[in-house]
């Protein structure tokens, strides 16, 4: 008998997809939008659903199950015992209530963070926090790992977080920009994904840019996939890691000494420039930050720095900045200085000029559509509590290490809560947090750790209770494509039934809510099941569409059609110029800063007195960088990978496209390889005082000598018998866990030094993707 197959429309962060299935097995998946740039991530649905790495059943750590009130054993080393769902939920409820009653809501960390599966109903962290709201409150998080420094400093500078704002429209860039600079940005990789679903338009815009004849410059220690994609149309400039502010200062000084800076714009649209110029020219400290001064720091010649100033000033220039350079110590200074440079050029608010901080993310610059947008699940129930405390997300380890400790954040004196319970849902903190060995030690401190997961990640392997959760292909949902464009509305139809014992987060937390109080399930769900919620969310979009002239069918017809709905274009959005209104009339359209202008000097930051975040952009040498490296040390770059989303899909067959010797690749220059007797394909050991990893050597001239790159997101695979050597090459075993500054407390992963050598030890098979033996 022939099994019938069908094609189901769904979506993920990497865009709408068509999945071939018989209802039990996934056979294939491909993108649902026409594209000349195939997205490798869209082929991985089968691997996600049928992976050997799936968490199949509720599991409890043996030492915890034996004595929940006083757990035994060590997280990460103990065996797991299978239990029923009812046993797991009863155990969580009892311990949750005990901890809450004894220590209060601040002792419950539910600030779960991560790139949860896409969809507007099944948002893991939102559902967790909705449940904790019903329970009486919790400790949440502030900020994120991606833009921790920039999103805090930018409101002081331009009055908005800027990193998640719509950009000057791509049609205007293509028409008006003469020079486009990709500064620490690799959009060919990062545009494969979006926080919602990708609209898949961004790489097409870069293709047009490539063919446009405009001058393109990539400033990055590594010749990225984007630079390779742009081929001969792009020039590669490679500064030392961490030295971008010095390079920008050298360009800025060249503008001043040649009279190329735009005094009229600085006078009308900025605040505090004269104070900054005293520092720039050396009137304050006797050190002129000229091109030669900058060259000695950043490793780019003085002539090249002067040439860049000449190019930028005499052409309409768009500075497209990525986020990697602010994931460094003193990261706040990077984007602040970039905007200062753009202000000195005087092109902010002009079509195709100025700066943009999200052209590389979620297809920023793709014009916003006249869209009808569904509602989404809220993280608070009626009458529930908000978070009673919040900590910067990148300071979770310090909070666990130092309960009650006093720290500074964004001008406030704050205190770490005494965290006794951690619940992480929809994220993988063991791959996105720095200094993995320090994290593991701190992770032993809470009384209860619960992980809701689809896969046996390192976080799951360090939990007391692991709950098996469905992938987005085992449930129904809705999504929009394009975080900025809102270009399409997509039904995310269930492809296959939940695998093994997996349940939806929505159902898990509804069951726990019923344990909180009589009628708790009804309060949590508001009397709606999955499809009723989707119908409700859709009706919000339908009513919004009526007001905007966008006709949507009834929900039942939309769902049955199994079709993408494309929203109409908006002519005004295609002409959008970021800061255009402000430039035209600074008084009539002031920014949300104290002065109403771009603040090159901030009195508010000056009042905080932070030595690690001065009141105007400055060059501050990091604790670990090229300038203080010991003999043989290399700078470590941890950039976004090409064939996964951070740690997602690391287990998939896509690994075969990039793994070297079965491990995460480490990219190094031939000069550095030859000095260590390393050939392409060799297994190498990379180490520093924080830890050690094995990786596969990828030798190429497409990286600056003295810099190596291990992409972030590799799953840790520590071998206790070998000094916690990571057999797989997880870069955060090596990265430095310090805050960017006391202002933002952002992630500073890209400020790390390492040693590297050819590995001569015994064979170490990779076990990162193996479930625990008893699972």
The verdict on whether residue 22 carries a ligand-binding annotation is no
One domain for residues 347 and 231: yes
What is the count of structural domains for the chain? 4
One domain for residues 348 and 387: no
The verdict on whether residue 475 carries a ligand-binding annotation is yes
Distance CA 731, CA 749 (A): 9
The verdict on whether residue 578 carries a ligand-binding annotation is no
Model confidence over 315-350: pLDDT tens digits? 999 999 999 999 999 999 999 999 999 999 999 999
Model confidence over 164-188: pLDDT tens digits? 999 999 999 999 999 999 999 999 9
Residue-level pLDDT at 3: 67
Residue 620: inside a domain, yes or no? no
Q: Which residues pair with 301 in a beta bridge?
A: none
Section 224-250 average pLDDT: 96
3-state DSSP assignment of residue 332: helix
Nearest-5° Cα angle at 728, 727 to 732: 105
Whether 307 has a pLDDT exceeding 60, the answer reads: yes
Distance CA 195, CA 117 (A): 9
Determine the structural domain holding residue 23 and report its residue range.
6-50
Residue 615: inside a domain, yes or no? no
Tokens of 513: 């809510």
Whether 289 has a pLDDT exceeding 60, the answer reads: yes
Average model confidence (pLDDT) across the chain: 97
Model confidence over 578-626: pLDDT tens digits? 999 999 999 999 999 999 999 999 999 999 999 999 999 999 999 999 9
3-state DSSP assignment of residue 489: strand
One domain for residues 327 and 433: no
Q: What's 362's domain CATH number?
A: 3.40.228.10
One domain for residues 591 and 663: no
pLDDT band at 775 (very low <50, low <70, confident <90, very high): confident
Model confidence over 745-768: pLDDT tens digits? 999 999 999 999 999 999 999 999
One domain for residues 248 and 384: no
Give the rounded percent of residues in the chain with a pLDDT score beyond 90: 98
**Beta 15-21 vs 234-237: how paired, if at all?**
unpaired
Contact criterion met (CB below 8 Å) for 718 and 646: no
Residue-level pLDDT at 35: 85
Residue 773: inside a domain, yes or no? no
One domain for residues 359 and 377: no
Whether 428 has a pLDDT exceeding 90, the answer reads: no
Residue-level pLDDT at 1: 36
Helix (H) or strand (E) holding 671: helix 670-675
Tokens of 210: 């490539």
Angle between helices 302-313 and 291-298 (to 10 degrees): 120
Whether 8 has a pLDDT exceeding 50, the answer reads: yes
Residue-level pLDDT at 774: 87
Residue 687: inside a domain, yes or no? yes
The verdict on whether residue 14 carries a ligand-binding annotation is no
One domain for residues 540 and 397: yes
Model confidence over 124-152: pLDDT tens digits? 999 999 999 999 999 999 999 999 999 99
One domain for residues 532 and 406: yes
Contact criterion met (CB below 8 Å) for 445 and 479: no
Catalytic sites, residue numbers: 113, 115
Residue 774: inside a domain, yes or no? no
Residue 740: which of 457, 323, 368 has the closest Cα?
323
One domain for residues 519 and 452: yes
Q: Long-range contacts of range 25-32, CB-CB < 8 Å, 24 or more positions apart? A: 25/50, 25/496, 26/50, 26/473, 26/495, 26/496, 31/200, 32/490, 32/564
Residue 618: inside a domain, yes or no? no
Distance CA 285, CA 35 (A): 54
3-state DSSP assignment of residue 34: coil
The verdict on whether residue 575 carries a ligand-binding annotation is no
Which residue in the block uniquely carries the two structure tokens 């420039």?
Answer: 273
Whether 2 has a pLDDT exceeding 60, the answer reads: no
Whether 218 has a pLDDT exceeding 80, the answer reads: yes
Sheet of 488-492: strand order equals: 477-481, 488-492, 565-566
The verdict on whether residue 115 carries a ligand-binding annotation is yes
Residue 476: inside a domain, yes or no? yes
One domain for residues 31 and 85: no
Contact criterion met (CB below 8 Å) for 133 and 380: yes
Section 710-716 average pLDDT: 97
Residue 739: inside a domain, yes or no? yes
Which of 67-76, 154-163, 254-263 is predicted least confidently?
Answer: 67-76
One domain for residues 426 and 361: no
Model confidence over 106-120: pLDDT tens digits? 999 999 888 989 999
Exposure string of 100-125, with b = 16+ CB inside 10 Å and e = fewer, is: beebbbbbbbbbbbbbbbbbbbbbbb
Section 51-67 average pLDDT: 97
Model confidence over 449-508: pLDDT tens digits? 999 999 999 999 999 999 999 999 999 999 999 999 999 999 999 999 999 999 999 999
Helix (H) or strand (E) holding 8: strand 6-12
One domain for residues 78 and 222: no
Contact criterion met (CB below 8 Å) for 702 and 667: yes
């Amino acid at each position: 008998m022939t099994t019938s197959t069908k094609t189901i429309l769904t979506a993920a962060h990497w865009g709408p997809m068509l999945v071939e299935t018989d209802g039990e097995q996934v056979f294939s998946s491909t993108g649902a939008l026409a594209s000349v740039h195939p997205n490798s991530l869209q082929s991985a649905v089968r691997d996600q659903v049928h992976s050997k790495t799936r968490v199949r059943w509720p599991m409890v750590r043996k030492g915890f199950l034996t004595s929940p009130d006083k757990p035994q054993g060590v997280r990460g080393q103990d065996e797991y015992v299978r239990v029923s769902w009812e046993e797991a939920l009863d155990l969580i409820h009892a311990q949750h209530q005990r901890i809450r009653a004894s220590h209060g809501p601040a002792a419950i960390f539910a600030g779960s963070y991560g790139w949860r599966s896409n969809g507007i109903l099944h948002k893991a962290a939102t559902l967790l926090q909705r449940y904790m709201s019903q329970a009486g409150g919790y400790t949440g998080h502030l900020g994120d790992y991606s833009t921790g420094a920039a999103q805090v400093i930018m409101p002081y500078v331009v009055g908005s977080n800027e990193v998640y704002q719509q950009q000057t429209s791509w049609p205007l860039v293509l028409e008006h920009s003469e020079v486009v600079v990709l500064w620490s940005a690799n959009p060919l990789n990062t545009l494969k994904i979006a926080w919602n679903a990708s609209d898949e338009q961004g790489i097409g815009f870069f293709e047009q840019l490539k063919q446009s004849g405009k001058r393109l410059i990539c400033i990055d220690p590594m010749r990225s996939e984007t630079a390779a994609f742009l081929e001969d149309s792009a020039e590669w400039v490679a500064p030392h890691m961490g030295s971008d502010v010095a390079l920008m200062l050298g360009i800025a000084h060249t503008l001043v000494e040649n009279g190329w800076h735009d005094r009229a714009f600085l006078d009308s649209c900025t605040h505090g420039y004269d104070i900054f110029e005293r520092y720039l020219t050396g009137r304050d400290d006797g050190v002129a930050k000229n091109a030669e001064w900058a060259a000695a720091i950043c490793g780019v010649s003085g002539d090249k720095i002067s040439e860049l100033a000449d190019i930028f000033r005499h052409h309409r220039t768009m500075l497209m900045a990525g986020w990697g350079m602010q994931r460094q110590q003193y990261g706040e200074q990077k984007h602040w200085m970039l905007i200062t440079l753009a202000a000195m050029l005087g092109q902010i608010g002009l079509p195709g000029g100025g700066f943009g901080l999200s052209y590389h993310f979620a297809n920023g610059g793709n014009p916003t559509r006249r869209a009808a947008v569904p509602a989404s699940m809220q993280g608070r129930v009626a009458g529930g509590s908000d978070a009673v405390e919040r900590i910067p997300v990148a300071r979770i380890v310090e909070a666990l290490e130092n309960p009650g400790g006093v720290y500074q954040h964004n001008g406030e004196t704050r205190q770490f809560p005494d965290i006794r319970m951690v619940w992480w849902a929809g994220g993988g903190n063991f791959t996105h947090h720095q200094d993995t060995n320090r994290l593991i030690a701190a992770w032993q401190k809470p009384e209860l750790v619960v992980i809701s997961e689809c896969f046996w990640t390192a976080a799951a392997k360090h939990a007391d209770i692991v709950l098996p959760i469905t992938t987005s292909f085992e449930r129904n949902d809705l999504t929009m494509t394009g975080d900025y464009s809102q270009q399409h509305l997509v039904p995310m139809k269930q492809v296959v039934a939940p695998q093994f014992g997996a349940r939806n987060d929505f159902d898990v937390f509804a069951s726990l809510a019923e344990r909180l109080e009589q009628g708790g399930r009804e309060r949590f769900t508001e009397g709606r099941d999955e499809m009723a919620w989707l119908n409700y969310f859709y009706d919000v979009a339908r009513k919004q569409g009526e007001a905007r002239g966008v006709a949507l069918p009834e929900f039942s017809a939309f769902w049955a059609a199994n079709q993408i709905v494309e929203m109409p274009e908006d002519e005004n959005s295609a002409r959008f110029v970021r800061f255009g209104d402000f430039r035209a009339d600074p008084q009539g359209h002031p920014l949300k800063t104290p002065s109403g202008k771009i603040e090159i000097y901030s009195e508010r930051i000056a009042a905080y007195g932070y030595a690690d975040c001065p009141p105007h952009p400055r060059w501050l040498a990091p604790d670990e960088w090229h300038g203080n490296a010991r003999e043989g040390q290399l700078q470590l770059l941890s950039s976004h990978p090409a064939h996964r989303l951070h740690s997602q899909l690391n287990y998939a067959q896509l690994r075969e496209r990039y793994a070297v010797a079965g491990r995460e690749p480490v990219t190094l220059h031939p000069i550095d390889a030859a000095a260590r007797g390393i050939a392409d394909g060799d297994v190498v050991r990379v180490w520093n005082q924080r830890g050690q990893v094995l990786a596969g050597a990828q030798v190429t001239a497409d990286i600056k000598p003295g810099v190596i790159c291990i992409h972030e997101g590799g799953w840790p695979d520590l071998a206790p018998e070998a000094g916690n050597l990571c057999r797989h090459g997880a870069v955060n075993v090596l990265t430095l866990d310090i805050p960017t500054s006391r202002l933002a407390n952002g992630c500073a992963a890209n400020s790390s030094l390492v040693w590297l050598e050819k590995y001569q030890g015994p064979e170490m098979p990779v076990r990162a993707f193996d479930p625990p033996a008893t699972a």
